[in-house]
């Protein structure tokens, strides 16, 4: 049963599908997927081609647009759009600290979560596509991790694709998790240095906050333990178009005077909780390193191990000296599962996933070299989340792919740029530019 309703200029329809948990066992357990269809009000009765949007992450449900925000307005000019909550996210069958214990203990939880990578997501897409399109191929727009999924789609089921558009999400085809993070830390350092150049007053602010946290280890009202390392992870903001400004606004409001002396302000604690909590997207923490695993080796907390090669990111070393505190970026560490109450019950499950070895390969360079699907990709010149050089090597492998390398946008360009990014990629894919 579907339900339709309206936003300004848009008709929305809720869809629910059931798919196998394990596509290799189609008669086994099934899970539910939720997706929201969007079509321009004036074209709701037309037989339009479909565009499937795959959100970034992993672990985030599809963005909830209001009306024709960001790129959606451009897409609705010619497509019927499907905003899919990938398995385990949004309104699809959830996977979090509340639901995973129904599977059993950590071993069963980890085994269940091995079915939540890009390969399963693409099989989901191919399961629901005929139900919506009547069998016709569709255009896929993949943002960030959604682009990783789209790249796997080109390998696994190109017959289901009319066109592929990727924004900030061309993955390396063969880099290990260690290599991904070894390339990432210098990019994060550049973003931190650019932030301090823009807001030099934040150098002292960040040190003062980190010193306070090292001394007091406060527990926020939600139960989140704010350590210096957790505070450093606010650097994830620096990969977005407005992230440096958001970080500055957060830091300027850190302390208030109380009868007992300086204390973290309630406003700061609330903003930090919103920025750092994984309550709404725990799969991001559980699956962030497995998205890079495909060489038969466990990831074994790669970001934490590689971080040891970059001394400037060590909070204790920084606080013992006089150098600026370096924020970290898009990386998950064991201490996330100690600090965040949404993750603490999943610590052992996370350890088992970090030790897992049998991840299947996600990409097939031979098939990509023979690709016949029109593909266009936006590669952001200094993307903090996805390495530019890794992306360009992959672009050279995918036959016919056209790239747009730009420093006009950060990683969130497809959202921050309104219709411009999608419009440019459509032109590239169609040979109009």
- Residue 144 annotated to the active site: yes
Q: Where are the alpha helices (DSSP H) in 134-265?
A: 145-156, 177-198, 201-216, 228-232, 243-251
**Separation of alpha carbons 218 and 209, rounded Å:** 11
Hunting for tokens 């090669």 — which residue is that?
309
CA distance 390 to 64: 30
Out of 15, 115, 120, 144, the active site residue is: 144
| Straight-line distance from the first to the last Cα atom of the chain, in angstroms, rounded to the nearest whole number | 42
How far apart CA 384 and CA 183 sit, in angstroms, is: 10
Could you tell me the sign of the dihedral formed by the alpha carbons of 284, 416, 81, 146, in that order? negative
Omega within 30 of 0 (cis) for the link into 58: yes
Q: For this structure, is 23 an active site residue?
A: no
Cβ-defined contacts of 199-204 (< 8 Å, 24+): 199/244, 199/248, 201/252, 202/247, 202/248, 202/251, 203/324, 203/325
| Catalytic residue status for 152 | no
Given 152, 281, 336, 411, which residue is catalytic? 411
**Residues that are catalytic:** 144, 358, 411
């Amino acid at each position: 049963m579907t339900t339709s309703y309206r936003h300004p200029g848009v008709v929305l329809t809720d869809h629910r599908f059931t798919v196998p948990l394990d596509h290799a066992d189609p008669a086994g357990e099934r899970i539910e997927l939720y997706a929201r269809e969007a079509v321009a009000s004036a074209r709701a009765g037309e037989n339009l081609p479909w565009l499937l949007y795959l959100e970034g992450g992993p672990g985030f449900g599809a963005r909830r647009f209001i009306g024709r925000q960001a790129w959606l307005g451009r897409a609705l000019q010619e497509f019927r759009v499907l905003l899919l909550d990938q398995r385990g996210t949004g309104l699809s069958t959830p996977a979090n600290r509340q639901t995973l214990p129904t599977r059993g203990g950590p071993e069963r939880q980890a085994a269940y979560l091995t079915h939540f990578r890009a390969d399963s997501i693409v099989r989901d897409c191919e399961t629901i596509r005929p139900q919506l399109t009547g069998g016709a191929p569709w255009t896929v727009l993949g943002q960030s991790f959604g682009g990783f999924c789209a790249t796997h789609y080109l390998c696994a089921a190109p017959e289901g694709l009319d066109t592929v558009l990727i924004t900030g999400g061309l993955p390396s085809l063969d880099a290990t998790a260690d290599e991904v993070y070894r390339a990432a830390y210098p990019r994060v350092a550049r973003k931190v240095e650019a932030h301090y150049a823009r807001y030099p007053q934040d150098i002292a602010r960040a040190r003062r906050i980190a010193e306070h946290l090292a001394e007091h280890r406060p527990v926020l009202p939600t139960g989140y333990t704010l350590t210096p390392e957790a505070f450093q992870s606010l650097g994830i903001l620096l990969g977005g178009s407005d992230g440096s400004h958001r970080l500055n606004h957060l830091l300027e409001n850190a302390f208030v005077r109380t009868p007992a002396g300086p204390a973290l302000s309630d406003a700061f604690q609330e903003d930090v909780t919103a920025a750092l909590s994984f309550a709404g997207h725990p799969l991001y923490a559980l699956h962030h390193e497995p998205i890079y695993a495909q060489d038969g080796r466990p990831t074994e907390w790669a970001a934490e191990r590689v971080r040891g090669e970059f001394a400037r990111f060590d909070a204790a070393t920084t606080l013992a000296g006089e150098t600026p505190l370096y924020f970290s970026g898009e990386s998950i560490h064991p201490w996330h599962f100690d600090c965040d109450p949404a993750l603490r019950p999943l610590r052992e499950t996370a350890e088992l996933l970090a030790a897992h070895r049998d991840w299947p390969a996600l990409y097939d360079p031979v098939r990509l070299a023979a690709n016949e699907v029109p593909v266009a990709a936006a590669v952001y010149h200094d993307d903090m989340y996805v390495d530019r050089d890794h992306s360009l090597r992959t672009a050279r492998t995918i036959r016919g792919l056209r790239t747009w390398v730009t420093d006009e946008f950060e990683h969130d360009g497809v959202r921050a740029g309104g219709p411009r990014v999608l419009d440019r990629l459509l032109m590239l894919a169609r040979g109009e530019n």
